[in-house]
DNA sequence: CGTTCAACCTGGGCGC
DNA sequence: TGCGCCCAGGTTGAAC
């Protein structure tokens, strides 16, 4: 579910909790897969109880909640993955509530709810935070990525540009929805190998990434159909209304009127407009063409 | 180096 | 009503 815009919206929705003390941390029994929580829930609850919430930051698709109060520096790092939500409002169901933090501030509790349970909760020290969210793990944030950074990190790659944009080490925060929307705005064929892109393609790509992601943040992310994503105070995002290609296979392109296509790349759906997104793609993608 | 597959999970929608 | 299958916003590791 959440990509950069949704995770940033969650971050903003809980940023005001800074300064609140955690009175108690609860991890409902039986809903904690061993791999998704580190350390184990018991130790997690022990470490969180009594801590004071500090600044809340975002690193790609991860939220880091700084913890103060006595002990050494620590961060609670939450990765929502497909269906995770950080909520101050009531959860959709009690069933998939994974973590409940009771607070002493005006907001009484912070929840992590996750239907599919793929999300992760980790308590990290400074070294762990660097390992999980530092420059070796994550590329530049999608909101501020530059053409130079993209060209440097992807320029030599043979991978299709859509697949490469999902690589968090290249650029952080882009997922399946926004990769499609960004490439449409940049008018680049998702199948083009990165190495075939020229500097003006990288310029359009970086500008499209910044603009699409910033606009999606302004609209509080995308809540598609009856999907689960909500803001921390349980409102739907509004960016889905502005999608140009994602989820629109067979529908007319809002720019050229041609039919939006759906293909599969790296086992995931890619939506694009074959009419608008071929300027760069035409080079080297002629059917039947072999290397000389 | 790059791709493919499976795995981790739940749940909605579809055809039969 | 039920069953089997496919799909879904993500990430990781193994195999080729």
Structure tokens at A246: 């994602």
Do residues A5 and A223 touch, judged by C-beta distance below 8 A?
no
Taking only the tens of pLDDT, chain A with its 292 residues reads 799 999 999 999 999 999 999 999 999 977 666 569 999 999 999 999 999 999 999 999 999 999 997 678 999 999 999 999 999 999 999 999 999 999 998 999 999 999 999 999 999 999 999 999 999 999 999 999 999 999 999 999 999 999 999 999 999 999 999 999 999 999 999 999 999 999 999 999 999 999 999 999 999 999 997 789 999 999 999 999 999 999 999 999 999 999 999 999 999 999 999 999 985 544 544 443 333 3
Of how many residues is chain A composed? Answer: 292
Supply the pLDDT for residue A259.
96
Supply the pLDDT for residue A286.
42
Nucleotides on chain C that have an atom closer than 7 A to a protein CB are 7-12
Per-residue flag: A139 CB under 7 A of strand C: no
Supply the pLDDT for residue A292.
30
Per-residue flag: A10 CB under 7 A of strand C: no
Active-site residue list of A = 2-3, 61, 268
Do residues A111 and A97 touch, judged by C-beta distance below 8 A?
yes
The phi, psi pair for A193, rounded to 5°, reads -65, 140
Nucleotides on chain B that have an atom closer than 7 A to a protein CB are 1-6, 8-13
Name the residues in A64-103 having a C-beta closer than 7 Å to nucleic acid strand C: 79, 81-82
* Cα A83 to chain centroid, rounded: 11
Give the list of residues 6+ apart from residue A219 with CB closer than 8 angstroms, or none: A5, A237, A238, A239, A241, A242
Q: What's this model's pTM, rounded to 2 decimal places?
A: 0.94
Per-residue flag: A227 CB under 7 A of strand C: yes
Q: From the CB of residue A116, how many other CB atoms can be counted at a distance below 10 Å?
A: 12
For the CA of A206 and the C1' of B13, the distance in angstroms is 37
Three-class DSSP category at A130: helix
Supply the pLDDT for residue A245.
97
Domains of chain A: 4-133 (3.20.190.10), 147-282 (1.10.8.50)
Q: Which nucleotide is nearest to A35 (CA to C1')?
A: B8
């Amino acid at each position: 579910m959440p990509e950069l815009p949704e995770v940033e919206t969650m971050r903003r929705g809980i940023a005001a909790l800074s300064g609140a003390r955690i009175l108690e941390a609860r991890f409902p029994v039986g809903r904690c897969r061993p791999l998704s929580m580190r350390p184990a829930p018991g130790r997690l609850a022990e470490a969180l109880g009594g801590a004071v919430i500090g600044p809340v930051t975002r690193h790609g698709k991860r939220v880091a909640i700084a913890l103060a109060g006595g002990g050494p520096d620590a961060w609670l790092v939450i990765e929502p993955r497909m269906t995770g939500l950080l909520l101050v409002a009531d959860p959709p169901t009690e069933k998939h509530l994974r973590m409940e933090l009771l607070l002493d501030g005006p907001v009484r509790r912070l929840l992590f709810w996750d239907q599919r349970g793929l999300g992760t909760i980790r308590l990290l020290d400074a070294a762990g935070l660097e390992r999980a969210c530092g420059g070796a793990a994550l590329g530049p944030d999608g909101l501020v990525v530059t053409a130079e950074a993209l060209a440097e990190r992807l320029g030599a790659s043979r991978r299709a540009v859509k697949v490469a944009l999902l690589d968090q080490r290249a650029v952080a925060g882009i997922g399946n929805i926004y990769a499609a929307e960004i490439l449409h705005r940049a008018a680049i064929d998702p199948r083009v190998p990165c190495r075939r892109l020229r500097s003006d393609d990288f310029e359009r790509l970086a500008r499209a990434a910044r603009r699409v992601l910033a606009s999606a943040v302004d609209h509080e992310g995308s809540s598609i159909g009856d999907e689960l994503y909500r803001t921390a105070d349980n409102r739907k995002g509004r960016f889905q209304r502005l999608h140009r290609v994602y989820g629109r296979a067979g529908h007319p392109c809002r720019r050229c009127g041609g039919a939006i296509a759906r293909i599969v790349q790296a086992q995931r759906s890619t939506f694009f407009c074959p009419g608008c997104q071929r300027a760069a793609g035409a080079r080297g993608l002629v059917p039947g063409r072999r290397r000389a």
